[in-house]
Copies of this chain bind each other. A is one copy, B any other.
Amino acid sequence: MWVYGQIIDRYATDGYNSPKPTLEIIKEAKESGLSGLDLNYPWPEKDLTPKEVKAALDGSNLNAVCVTPVIYGQKFRSGSFSNADASLRNDAIALSEESVDVANQLGADYVKWWPGQDGYDYPFQVDYKQLREYALGGIRAVAKNNPKTQFAIEYKLKEPRNRLLWSTANASLINIAEVGVDNLGLVIDFGHSLFAKENPAEALSLIHSQGKLVDIELDDNYREWDDDLTAGAIHLVETLEFLYTVEKIGWKSPIKLDLFPYRENAMSAVKESIKTLQKLEACLDRIDMSALGKAQNAHDAMAIQAIVRDVLIA
């Protein structure tokens, strides 16, 4: 929903565009060619019921992919599950429980956490063990209390906080092992993975092989920040390898887009991303998989460059 909603940053505090009502966003999403939506909860309209949202989604033939509790706004600016203040830690848990309920009403696939304030900013600022206990403890409590609900964390290296606990694929897998529940997995975002200094295809392969893959998002950036550019705008080869890996691991669910079109028309950004991804998917079909496998077994980078060039460049 971020794609279509109002975008603000610390300089353009009057926004890059105008705010839009939730029901209108649902309509616009359908027109862009999407099949599902990630819904932030609570939505801005206080009197809008889950039932009404469900009806609007159904009317547009859209799936509620997930419900994402807003644990990163003003209230939780100094931490959600890991806040120094016990009452705010409890509020993060309560809002998560509420989101489970909403997700159930909407028939959403999972509840997504993006703990973008769970971390710290300065050296010496926190006791790391205690911070982890808080951050993982809150998540453990909610996940254990709702054993039939699938939960997922979307990891990101940093922003808004300078240091986040769910920073990389590996950090998140370590955290999940420490949480110790079965219904918690990960959302991998291609751009977050680049930003985390990972190769997204390798991270995707790892998360899947550990049985923790819940969802996949696409976008692009310059590797140094979560720029949320349109998919395929910069890293064509790595996006192709990412899609190749999606296929290789047998992933069948639709892939999500996570864009922040500050200055572009949101619908155009979504459409151009989809067209680029479709063209890349078509490239995949032309790969001689046997030749590729042979070159990969030999770690032969030059043979691989030839194979990729042949299918990718017009």
Residues of A in contact with B (beta carbons under 8 Å apart): 6-17, 72-74, 77-79, 83-84, 116, 120-130, 132, 157-160, 162-163, 167-168, 170-171, 173-174, 177, 196-197, 199, 201-202, 205-206, 209-210, 222-225, 227, 229-230, 232-238, 241, 244, 260, 262-265, 268-269, 272, 275-276, 279-280, 283, 286, 292-293, 296-302, 304-309, 311-314
Q: A276-B305, A309-B276 are in contact. Are A16 and B74 (CB under 8 A)?
A: yes
Given contacts A10-B260, A72-B11, A157-B197, contact A241 B124 (CB under 8 A): yes
Residues of B within 8 A of A280 (CB): 313
Q: How far is the CA of A314 from the CA of B283 in the complex (A)?
A: 7
Given contacts A10-B260, A13-B6, A177-B177, contact A124 B292 (CB under 8 A): yes
Q: Is the CB–CB distance between A127 and B12 below 8 Å?
A: no
Instruction: Determine whether the beta carbon of A272 is less than 8 Å from that of B313.
Output: no
Chain B's nearest CB lies how many Å from the CB of A148? 28
- Of all chain B residues, the one with the shortest Cβ separation from A171 is B170
Cα distance A197–B198 when bound, in Å? 12
Q: Which residues of the other chain, B, contact A297 by a CB distance below 8 angstroms?
A: 84, 127, 130
| Contact A308–B11 (Cβ < 8 Å) | no
Check A125 against B304 for contact (C-beta < 8 Å).
yes
Q: State whether B209 touches A305 (Cβ < 8 A).
A: no
Q: Which residue of B lies closest to A298 (CB)?
A: B84
Chain B residue at smallest Cβ distance from A314: B314
Question: Which residues from chain B contact A210 at a C-beta distance below 8 Å?
Answer: 174
Whether the Cβ atoms of B263 and A233 lie closer than 8 Å is no
Q: Given A311-B314, A313-B314 in contact, is the A296-B126 Cβ separation under 8 Å?
A: yes
Contact in complex: A77, B263 (CB < 8 Å):
yes
User: Inside 8 A of A306's CB, which chain B residues have their CB?
Assistant: 272, 275
Q: Which residues of B contact A299 (CB under 8 A)?
A: 78-79, 83-84, 120, 125-126
Can you pick out 14 interface pairs between chain A and chain B where the beta carbons lie within 8 Å of each other? A8-B13, A11-B73, A12-B72, A12-B160, A14-B73, A14-B74, A84-B298, A127-B297, A132-B206, A159-B225, A170-B171, A230-B305, A232-B305, A276-B305
**Per a CB cutoff under 8 Å, which of B15, B162, B263, B308 touches A227?**
B162
Minimum CB–CB distance from A237 to chain B (whole Å) comes to 5
Would you give the shortest CB distance from A202 to chain B, in whole angstroms?
A: 5
Q: A15-B74, A74-B14, A276-B313 are in contact. Are A301 and B234 (CB under 8 A)?
A: no
The reply to whether A296 and B77 contact each other, CB–CB distance below 8 Å, is: no
